[in-house]
Amino acid sequence: MSEQIQPFYTVHSLHCSLVLDCRGTGEGIKHGPAILYWGARLGPETTPEMLALLGTRQEAQACMPEESPIALSPELGAGFQGNAGIQVHRDGGQWASYSQIESVIEDGNDALTIVSICLATQIKITHRLALDQQSDVLTATTELTNIGDSTLWVDQCSAPSIPVPMHYNKILGFAGRWGNEFQRQSVDRFMGTYLRENRSGRTSHDSFPGVILHTEQTNEGAGAAYGLHLGWSGNHQIRVEEQFVGRAYAQMGELFLPGELSLEPNESYCSPTLYGASTQSGLSSLSQCFHRYIRSNIIDSRCTEKPRPVHFNTWEAMYFELSLERLCTLADEAAALGAERFVLDDGWFNNRRSDSAGLGDWFVDETVFPQGLSPLIDHVQAKGMEFGLWVEPEMVNPDSDLYRAHPDWILSAGVGLGAAPLLLARNQLVLDLTRPEVQDYLFNCIHGLLSEYAIGYFKWDMNRALYQPGSAHCEGRAVTHYQTLALYELIARIRSAHPTVEIESCASGGGRADFGILAHTDRIWTSDTNDALDRLRIQNGFSLFFPAELMGAHVGPKDCHITGRNIDMATRAGVAMFGYMGIEANLLTMEESEKTELKAAVALHKQHRELIHSGDLVRLESGDNENSFGVVSADQDEALFSYALLDSHRNSAPGRLCFRGLDPDAQYEINIVWPRQPTSISTSILDVINGAVISGDALANFGVQLPIMLPQSLLIFHLQKR
């Protein structure tokens, strides 16, 4: 602990610096700690005092002589006219927090803990900030403690607020829906508030908890940007506000429903972690920071110590029409194509002939599997594949033995006379995970399955939002916060008992994808659509924060069941091979020519899997009718680049594809490795490129002349340093 609080504190990572302003402890208006600078690493000749001098602001007309700062938690008592980071009260009183820094603890050269006290509201605020040395990712939390002697009601406790440079005038947010997640949504920053709120009780399909703030000139390969992500799988709020005085800030935190959070004396609440990255080198560089952080700090070692297995999932092959004979035949076909894990999807448990019954009764249906799952698992393993299983533990059908026995185990809108009726969605209600007996029941069911059967993987689904997240167990109070924590606790308990099991986070596709759930799971099902063209856009947005080895990407059937679009196998497989690859189609009816193509794609993915799952992602600038990106090894010795044409060329002939991220001084052998037999209507680059040795400089600055291609087709280039 510092004996005397210093006016400034600086922490560094490999490429970034963060300077904290703690001058609010001196004379004049007191205020909490604030970020003075976050960006490119500062040299030793640059002092915080220089930055403070350069940042001197004058009194604005019709304003206070001294502005209330954009503190880590801006405060009402300090006159902050934006959104206060902490909003509390005691039965309507003691609401205007006005804290003073009590201590600052420096943890090495990269972390700070700042403790502040507000005597007026009787709260302690603890901010923790750290810069990860290798990835340059900032992690930041706000902890609130009730040091009074009565109940403290908490309306808001955001993660630390981030001042945004005024020239970062573009906001890149994320919208979407089921089957169309992670869609980029760019707007010009404006005077006022950009606000996105999510009340679905999960990360959501339509409001991913991430935002990127950047300059007008920033693109994938150049320019300044901040990337911010809230690692939380429940309700959240994203706010970017430009104030009339000429300042801007970003603020993210959990979104509480009325009366949801209160703290008794000495109780504490900690905000979800805010993850941030700062770059001067474009959006791909920003993504690489997040990818490096996930790979070194979040992904479990048991998943990094072996290749990510190619999946076969039974859903689009069989839906609910299961039989042991057909499943075994499917397993034979999947193994022949190179699949390494066979996942039995929905329909395997008691009375599950449709999505209207059975959820909650997690016992193998003996009418379908008279001898349990062992015969199927034995057959799968004999083919050299692991076995995985679909579950949806948080949900229950009213038509189930569990609900008939325990109708009180569900979330609802309240209790007593006049309470809203229960709302069904997908024929489901939501189990109240905050009840210990519910936790125990679900753990025992899953523990029993994992103990009896050789199950190495769970696809953990969640197919509806929490529309009525009240708990009768808690006198009808809203419990989304506690439900989310209970989910984390349940998964952690299962993984503790079965440390080798891998778990996929699925919520009708990409509805639960965030760094919070990644602390407990190993794969994200990116979307329920396997339409390759939709997937290119979805995977593009996903890649801004998540690396390829977490991205479930499957080759679907020729006719997509969501869009009805018919897409060639070469394109479907070429899109899927750049993620955590899988197959989700009926192999029993698939044409032999398609199987041959698919088998070759699986083999190509395995050949380059290590590169795809460890390399640096480089997204390329492309038109609306194109998609292009590359994966470059850390040593720049090898790369794969994908170019896809989504719609017809605008001109008679297309333009060039320039390969960024290569060593400009090196020579690379270039080959088109997919599709197996690329064709063009006349002599083109396809006829002359394979085996050519070209400098990285020429590939980046001049590029390859693309051939005339049919819409919905793609090319994959392999580059090897020579």
Q: What is the mean pLDDT of residues 574-579?
A: 98
Distances (CA, A) of 260 to 152, 235, 255, 265, 501: 12, 12, 10, 17, 34
pLDDT for 475 equals 87
Cβ pair 422, 408 in contact under 8 A: no
Catalytic pick from 461, 514, 531, 534?
461
Tens digits of residue pLDDT in 522-559: 999 999 999 999 999 999 999 999 999 999 999 999 98
The mean per-residue pLDDT over the stretch 607-615 comes to 98
Catalytic, 528? Answer yes
**What is the pTM for the complete model shown?**
0.96
CA distances from 221 to 238, 279, 538, 544 (A): 26, 11, 20, 13
Amino acid 30: pLDDT:
61
DSSP 29: S
The sign of the dihedral angle between the CA atoms of 214, 216, 220, 222 is negative
Q: How far apart are CA 395 and CA 397, in angstroms?
A: 7
DSSP-assigned letter for residue 419: P
Q: Can you give the pLDDT at residue 28?
A: 52
* Distance (Å, whole) CA 606 – CA 598: 12
Question: What's the token pair of residue 173?
Answer: 């947010």
Q: Which of 5, 32, 2, 260 is nearest to 124 (CA)?
A: 32
Per-residue model confidence as pLDDT tens digits over 174-208: 999 999 999 999 999 999 999 999 999 999 999 99
Assign domain 301-525 to a CATH class.
alpha beta
Residue that wins the pLDDT comparison between 62 and 325? 325
Instruction: Name the band, by pLDDT with cuts 50, 70 and 90, for residue 1.
Output: very low
Q: Which residue has the higher pLDDT, 109 or 13?
A: 13
The pLDDT of residue 66 is 79
Whether the pLDDT of residue 449 is over 60: the answer is: yes
pLDDT of residue 58: 82
Token pair, residue 45, equals: 């000749």
CATH 2.60.40.1180 fits 618-721, yes or no: yes
Spatial separation of the C-alpha atoms in residues 508 and 515, rounded to whole Å: 18
- Quote the pLDDT of residue 443: 98
Between 630 and 32, residue with greater pLDDT: 630
Burial level of 620, CB count in 10 A (0-12/13-18/19+)?
Answer: buried
Listed in sequence order, the DSSP H helices in 338-422 are 374-382, 401-405
How many CB atoms are closer than 10 A to CB 575?
Answer: 28
Q: What is the mean pLDDT of residues 313-340?
A: 97
Torsion sign, CA atoms 333, 335, 336, 338: positive
Which tens digits make up the pLDDT trace of 470-516? 999 888 899 999 999 999 999 999 999 999 999 999 999 999 999 99
Which amino acid, residue 654? Answer: P
pLDDT at 25 over 60: no
Q: How many CB atoms sit inside 10 A of residue 27's CB?
A: 6
At 381-431, the pLDDT tens digits run: 999 999 999 999 999 999 999 999 999 999 999 777 788 999 999 999 999
Query: Position of tokens 């009565």?
Result: 150
Confidence of residue 652 (pLDDT cuts 50, 70, 90): confident
Instruction: Return the exposure string of 75-88: e unless at least 16 CB atoms fall within 10 Å of the residue's CB, then b.
Output: bbbbbbebbbbbbb
SS (H, E, C) 629-688: EEEECCCCCEEEEEEEECCCCCCCCCCEECCCCCCCCCEEEEEEEECCCCCCCCCCHHHC
Percent of all residues in the chain with a pLDDT value above 90, rounded to a whole number: 89
Which residues are paired to 144 by β-bridges?
A: 125, 269
- Residue 3: pLDDT band with limits 50, 70, 90: low
DSSP assignments along 473-525, one per residue: GGTTEE-HHHHHHHHHHHHHHHHHHSTT-EEEE-BTTBSS-SHHHHTT-SEEE
Of 104-108, 281-285, 394-398, minimum mean pLDDT range: 104-108
Of the candidate CATH numbers 3.30.310.10, 1.10.3720.10, 2.70.98.60, 2.60.40.10, the domain formed by 8-58+68-297 belongs to 2.70.98.60
Is 559 a known active-site residue?
A: no
Q: At what angle do helices 592-612 and 569-576 cross, to 10 degrees?
A: 20
Report domain extents, the chain.
8-58+68-297, 301-525, 618-721
pLDDT recorded at residue 623: 85
Tell me the Cα Rg of the chain.
Answer: 27
Among 345, 346, 432, 528, the active-site one is: 528
> Model confidence at 113, in pLDDT bands (50, 70, 90)?
very high
Residue 387, classified by CB atoms within 10 Å of its CB into exposed (0-12), middle (13-18) or buried (19+), is buried
Contact between 11 and 38 under an 8 Å Cβ cutoff? The reply is no
What mean pLDDT is reported for the chain? 95
Split at pLDDT 50, 70, 90, the class of 241 is very high
| Span 212-222, average pLDDT | 97
Residue 600, token pair as written in the block: 């070759």
Q: What does the pLDDT read at residue 60? A: 80
How much is the pLDDT for 417?
Answer: 72
Q: Is the pLDDT of residue 90 over 90?
A: yes
Sign of CA dihedral 394, 400, 406, 412: positive
Cα separation, 595 vs 68, in Å, equals: 65
**End-to-end CA gap in the chain:** 54
